[in-house]
Chains A and B, each alone.
Chain A
């Protein structure tokens, strides 16, 4: 698992990327998906995820819909039109960042660009 300082700056990008690929996701699903995709190397903490999702909602980047599951309610998050654009920007920005880090640190990993 990477240091939280490294993950902190990329959290929004990760979540936006996931939401841009899937029609709708709920909070727990997001954490599990990230865990699964990264082989548990990146773990999104609940303490960071929910404040951020609520912020994205307030900014109009995601919308929510609720579904009743027995006694409890599940809230699904979906990207809005602006959200899609923001996701593209963020992903592009981060890819560019990785590119720059590549040049700077002179390592040759096999990074696949999005």
Chain B
């Protein structure tokens, strides 16, 4: 057996560095290994260079660098077991919380929203990121599966963050949910289908998965896009809406007639404070009613995609199948929105103050905007009237509020 000279060893040591091995730990291993191989192969007939080149071939086509890359991959992956079990546990816990949250909600027990929120939060910050880190590492070979992992990751994060935003009424929820769904349908599915369908044993699986995803996303988008009123109740419900609207118009006319009457009386016996009070009441009422009228038109124009002028003239019956998608964003918190639940509440409160000043003994209970208990949970006025409802119900609730305003106006008129 030959022994390598110090120069030859130094040469190999340097060459390992040149070939991209930066880890000193690994280069010690490789240097000794290469030296051992060469010393066994050298036989006095072949020269060092030839044997060295042959030895390098042992390390595969991609060479020494590949060993270092592989080592790094394995080392950064040493938390695999911890990550894997954290992923599983967080997955179990979050799905349990979401399911029981849904069950709580179904039974109208308190704490449903909190359960769901924590569940979705766990899913978003622990389960999904870990799942995709692990999945990504496992399928690091083909470009297609990398693309698939990234798309799936982005769309599922968008979905779950969108749901959190929706529960919290932060703006942008609808946007995230729709982009997530579209990404899943138009980017993930085609790539997935092509890549799995080629693998003949998986045809049934691929088809089933694709159909399930399309059905799921389809149902979801339908739900967010047009959450209509359940059919069996819709007809009687609709009679209620139209009748309320008729009643509202009738009451407005009645009040106008009363104003005219009072105006005539005042012209004969002139009492300045009285006429001033009445003018104040009329202008405050008109202002509030203009706001609600415009708010209705604005909301209808948003859900129906028509102009506000058209929306003012639309027959309420046309809203039967219209959805309420995006309305939570508009009504809760979106800063650029000209109408919000909070703003309406404030306006009603200041209207009540005006009325109280003019006619102190007027019953203001019809315009109560405080919280109340519903199914054992305290619900705010904004939530009960506007949260997660289809446009038809929101419009109905605004009509109810308007009826309350007109009734209060009428009561105040009696007091003056």
Contacts and interface: CB of A to CB of B under 8 A. Distances in A.
Nearest to A55: B74
A47 B59 contact: yes
B37 interface: yes
Interface string B67-79: 1001101110010
Contact of A27 (B6, B29, B71, B78): B29
A66 interface: yes
Nearest to A54: B71
B83 interface: no
Given A28-B37, A54-B75, A55-B75, A47 B70 contact: yes
Interface string B1-44: 00100100110010000000000011011111101110000000
B60 A45 contact: yes
Interface residues of B, number: 27
Contacts of A71: 6, 9-10
A68 to B, nearest CB: 11
A111 B139 CA distance: 35
A71 B39 CA distance: 14
Given A50-B26, A51-B70, A54-B26, A72 B35 contact: yes
A74 interface: yes
B61 to A, nearest CB: 10
Select the residue from B3, B13, B25, B29 with max chain A CB neighbours within 10 A. B29
Interface residues of A, number: 23
A114 interface: no
A36 to B, nearest CB: 13
B9 A50 contact: no
Contacts of A48: 70
B6 A47 contact: no
B58 interface: yes
A89 interface: no
Contact of B31 (A45, A47, A72): A72
B286 interface: no
Interface in A11-64: 26-28, 45-48, 50-55, 58-59
18 contacts: A46-B30, A46-B33, A46-B59, A47-B66, A47-B70, A50-B29, A50-B30, A51-B73, A54-B71, A54-B75, A55-B74, A58-B78, A59-B78, A69-B32, A70-B6, A71-B6, A72-B35, A75-B32
Question: Can you list the 7 inter-chain pairs with the closest CB atoms, starting with the nearest?
Answer: A28-B36, A55-B74, A51-B70, A51-B71, A71-B9, A47-B60, A71-B6
Interface of B: 3, 6, 9-10, 13, 25-26, 28-33, 35-37, 58-60, 66-67, 70-71, 73-75, 78
Interface of A: 26-28, 45-48, 50-55, 58-59, 66, 69-75
Given A46-B67, A47-B67, 11 more contacts: A47-B59, A50-B26, A50-B29, A50-B33, A54-B71, A55-B74, A58-B74, A70-B3, A71-B6, A73-B31, A75-B29
